[in-house]
Every structure is written in C-alpha cells, then in structure tokens.
C-alpha cells in the first residue's frame, strides 16, 4: 500500500458571490450554545466509538460534573466531564432498551442545570481510499504554490493542528515541520499522539497541509508551517464526538492558528457547535471536510457557521463524484489522488474531502505567513476573495477553488487601508448620506426550556462605515432576544458585545463603526414561537 521512495519513481495505478444577508459569505443559519480544561482522554476510557454514552450540556456557572451526577437517574454513570465546553458524558447500560434511553434523556433534561442531552455519536474520517502509487503531484502546480513559495513557504510561527488519527511525527517528510510540543492524545490515555502502523489517515492529511518542501525528501506539502498532532480517531478512522470536541478545545487553548478537521458526522450536535464556537472566538480558523457520500448534505463540523466547509475536486476541476455539496460549502480544493506521507516512512495517494480540507489549510497557512496581522475573520474572507471560479454551482464550489498564488500575492488590506490615523479626526461618528439596508426573515420555536437560536453574519458594504442599526421584529406571542458581536465571531447569550433583551418582540441595537468590522448576529427565542424579521441599516460617512 505504500512506497518508500519519492512518488515520481512509481507508475500511475489507477465569481464574485458577495451579497447582503444571503449566501455563505454573509449569512449562515446556525444553532446555539456558547461556552474556558481537558488535556487528554479520561484514564480507562477506550478509544474510538462510544455507543452507550450520552452527552449532557450543563448551564453556565454550574459545576459540570456535580450537576450531571445530580441529574443522572438510575444506573447511569458520569464517566467524563469538560468544564470548558461545559458538558459531561454519561454511560448508559448497554442492555437498556431504546425506550429507556429516550425516557432517560427526557428525564435528565428536566433538571434546571441541564441545557441539552444528545448521543455521543461516532465521528469518522472522510477518506475514499485509492491505489497508493502516483507518479506526480498535481495539486501544488494547479493551485499556484510555486509562485506562492517565491514569497513564503510558510512560517514556523503559524501553527496548524490536525485532529485525526495522529501524525507520524518522525516521518522523514514531516519531522522538520512538527511543532516542538508534538501534540496530544485524546483517543488513548498514554499521552502520545503517535499513530499505529495502520493509521495512515492523519499522517497523510498532515503531510498535505505541511511538509518539508524542496528538501530532497518525499513529497512537497502545501506549506512549511508548524504541525500539531491531536489524535482523536482510532485505527478504524472513528472517534467519539466528545474526543473530537476535547481536541478542538485543546487546539485553541495551546494557540493553534488553524485547525484541520478531515472528519465528520451526518447531523447537527450542540456539543460540536459549542466547541467550534469556543475555538473561533479565540481566533482559530477551523476548516473541515464536507463529506464523501456524494449527497447534497454537508456533514458536521463543516456545516457549522464557524467552520470553512470544503468540497473536493477532480484533477480537471470537476466536482469529485464522492464529494458532498450544499449551501454551507465555502471553498473547493483538489481531493482526488493526492500524494502525501503515510506511516512507516512511506508515501501513498488517497482521495476524499479529507484530502481537500488540508489543501485549504495549507493555503491558509501560507497566507497567514505572508500577512501575519490577519485576524481569523480577515483570513477567512481573504481566502474567499482570492478563490478561483472553476465553473461549478455555488453549492458545489462555494466561492471557488482555493488559490495559493492569489492568497499570497494579493494584499488583503488593499490600497485604501489606513492605520487609524487622522482620516476622520474632527468628525468622529459623523455619518453621511450613504445608506444600505438589508433584511432577512426566519422562524424559531422557543418552546424548549433552553430556547432556540438562529445566527447570521454581516460583512459591511459601505466604503467608510459609520454606524449600523440592527432591529428585530417578531410576533406578539413571542419572546425574542438579540445579541451582536462586532468582529464577526459567533455571538451567544454569554459571549457578545451588544445586546437587546427586553421582554418583548421588538429589539434594536445601534453601533458606532470604525470600519473593517464584520458583525455576528444571534436571534434567540426564549418562549413562544413564530416568524421574525431582522433589519440592518448601515450608514457610511
């Protein structure tokens, strides 16, 4: 399955979409739950799927483990807790019938301290295996890496965390770029994120995002940024939701700039959403594979609005037959027959959205190396704006195929960027006649005791923004709150810059702007239900 020489020694076996309050670039509907630690797997817990466990979300300011134990009835046992993402894992007797599980979830959510309960589902790597031999790498050439490398091959100060099966950190092609901290193990309790001999996925994914370039060894990774190995999948390529969540939190806490998630699960889970929000709020760019079922449905975590969802392309630029699609797709990247490192000091070619995601991550690393002052939201926007339209639909390619040359050569700040000097001194807050209005409508059922939320993002449209007023109108029978952030991060009831939370259905927030902000908006229905309208009025100087 592998080769020990360079891949060229073996034969081949084998648009501008920016709109106001619409589309992946400006609006993403999402859910709720915001959450500060877990460093490794709980001792004695087996790696991989955990079918007889339920995750219980605990309200802020409560002791997670204590409240979970107090709420758990019968023979169930609290086996793991994360005080940062605010959840506990409850082990349920395997012999219990399905009806008993449903009754258990219903009973536990009656506790005032419990916000939700959901199964500890199995998350799996998103790989479509292919023959291992390939006589050349086409991806670096296709996405313009040679031109980008003339400016930067990637800075060791930019840290990429790969949440996967673990990276062979002493692989000849990778040892020069592995971070001195190496990583952490969330699948086992031995503290070493080194993969077993059959666990190739993480090493292959890591080698795509980063690998020694022009060093006379093996293949060329997209960047030479630093790699961290967060081992959260077992030898089958599967892992528990709780292990993935802990790895996301750890990556954010140790200062990763970019996180690759070449894994997914069909469905939406509050615990995953909470972890992604936690990382995004700390400036981490999250990138994930869309899924390999060939359906019009993006898997989680790629479907989260805090995550860049990546579809896979064939070498000719067409959509890979296995790639999932959907409105959440933000970028596309080559994902078919990519050559990279595998365990045992070898090399192989593999296909999947698992392979497309680290291509985007590597390009993001190059862009951040070239422009280290970019914030997470600015880096995300820059990747969108420099992507290449390959002629596919928006649900297939998003903003287009990622392009390393354009991402490195295009100044993300532009000619009109100022350093905050005296351009508007003497008239702070003075607004001119330029006005842009945008609206969006939605519907929420707040009948659950913890409520329900929708989230949106808004990129400013005026040339010199001055202020924005966000107004919410809902039905008389509803009870809605509005939360706003000014840097594009996902707001929540516990993490926001401005809010309007009166007991009614009409809320309004007005913000002064300096320019360059992206707004994050959340509508939360506390009780009642019905349709609402969100209106934004942006004014320029």
The catalytic residue positions are: 164, 201, 354
Per-residue buried b or exposed e for 462-500, using 16+ beta carbons within 10 Å of the residue's own CB: bebbbbbebbbbbeeebbbbbbbbbbbbbbbbebbbebb
CB 107 within 8 A of CB 258: no
Q: Give the helix/strand (H/E) hosting 395.
A: helix 394-397
**CA 167 centroid distance within chain:** 20
Q: Look up tokens 């896979």; give the residue.
A: 312
Q: What is the distance between the alpha carbons of residues 85 and 75, in angstroms, rounded to a whole number?
A: 25
Check the CA dihedral 167-169-173-178 and report its sign: positive
Residue 455: CA count within 13 A, CB half-sphere: 24
Per-residue DSSP letter, 474:
-
CB 394: neighbour CB atoms within 10 A?
16
Q: What is the distance between the alpha carbons of residues 385 and 17, in angstroms, rounded to a whole number?
A: 9
Q: What is the distance between the alpha carbons of residues 354 and 288, in angstroms, rounded to a whole number?
A: 8
CB 15 within 8 A of CB 400: yes
The token pair that represents 270 in the structure block: 């509050």
CB 365: neighbour CB atoms within 10 A?
33
CB 538 within 8 A of CB 436: yes
The token pair that represents 511 in the structure block: 């913000």
Q: What is the distance between the alpha carbons of residues 363 and 370, in angstroms, rounded to a whole number?
A: 11
């Amino acid at each position: 399955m592998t080769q020990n020489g360079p891949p060229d020694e073996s034969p081949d076996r084998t648009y501008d979409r920016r709109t106001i309050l619409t589309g992946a670039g400006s609006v993403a509907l999402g859910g709720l739950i915001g959450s500060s630690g877990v460093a490794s797997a709980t001792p004695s817990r087996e790696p991989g799927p955990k079918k007889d466990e339920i995750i219980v979300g605990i309200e802020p300011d409560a002791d997670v483990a204590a409240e979970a134990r107090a709420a758990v009835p019968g023979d169930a046992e609290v086996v793991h807790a994360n005080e940062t993402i605010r959840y506990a894992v409850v082990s349920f007797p395997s012999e219990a019938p399905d009806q008993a599980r449903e009754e258990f979830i219903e009973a536990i959510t009656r506790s005032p301290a419990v916000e939700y309960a959901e199964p500890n589902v199995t998350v799996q790597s998103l790989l479509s295996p292919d023959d291992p031999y390939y006589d050349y790498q086409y991806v670096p050439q296709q996405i313009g890496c040679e031109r980008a490398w003339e400016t930067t091959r990637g800075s060791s100060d930019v840290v990429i965390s790969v949440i996967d099966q673990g990276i062979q950190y002493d692989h000849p092609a990778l040892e020069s770029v592995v971070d001195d901290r190496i990583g952490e193990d969330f699948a086992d309790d031995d503290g070493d994120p080194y993969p077993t001999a059959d666990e190739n996925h993480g090493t292959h994914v890591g080698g795509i995002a980063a690998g020694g370039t022009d060093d006379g060894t093996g293949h060329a990774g997209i960047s030479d940024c630093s790699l961290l190995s967060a081992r959260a999948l077992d030898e089958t390529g599967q892992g528990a939701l709780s292990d993935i969540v802990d790895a996301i939190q750890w990556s954010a806490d140790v200062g990763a700039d970019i996180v690759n998630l070449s894994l997914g699960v069909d469905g939406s889970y509050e615990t995953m959403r909470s972890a992604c929000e936690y990382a995004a709020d700390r400036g981490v760019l999250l990138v994930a594979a869309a899924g390999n079922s060939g359906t019009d449905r993006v898997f989680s975590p790629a479907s989260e609005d805090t995550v860049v969802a990546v579809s896979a392309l064939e070498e000719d630029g067409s959509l890979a037959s296995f790639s999932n699609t959907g409105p959440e797709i933000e970028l596309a990247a080559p994902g078919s027959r990519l050559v990279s490192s595998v365990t045992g000091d070898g090399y192989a070619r593999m296909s999947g959205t698992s392979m497309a995601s680290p291509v985007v991550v590597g390009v993001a690393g190059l862009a951040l190396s070239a422009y280290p002052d970019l914030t997470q939201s600015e880096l995300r926007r820059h990747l969108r704006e420099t992507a290449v339209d390959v002629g596919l639909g928006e649900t297939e390619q998003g903003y287009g195929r990622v392009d390393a040359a354009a991402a490195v050569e295009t100044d993300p700040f532009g000619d009109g960027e100022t350093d905050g000097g005296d351009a508007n001194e003497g008239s702070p807050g003075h607004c001119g006649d330029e006005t842009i209005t945008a609206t969006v409508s939605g519907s929420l059922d707040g009948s659950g005791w913890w409520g329900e939320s929708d989230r949106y993002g808004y990129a400013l449209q005026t040339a010199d923004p001055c202020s924005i007023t966000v107004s919410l109108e809902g039905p008389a029978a509803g009870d809605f709150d509005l939360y706003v952030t000014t840097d594009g991060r996902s707001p929540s009831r516990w993490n926001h810059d401005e809010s309007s939370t009166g007991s009614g259905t009409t809320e309004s927030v007005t913000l002064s702007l300096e320019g360059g902000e992206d707004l994050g908006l959340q509508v939360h229905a506390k009780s009642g239900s019905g349709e609402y309208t969100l209106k934004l009025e942006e004014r320029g100087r």
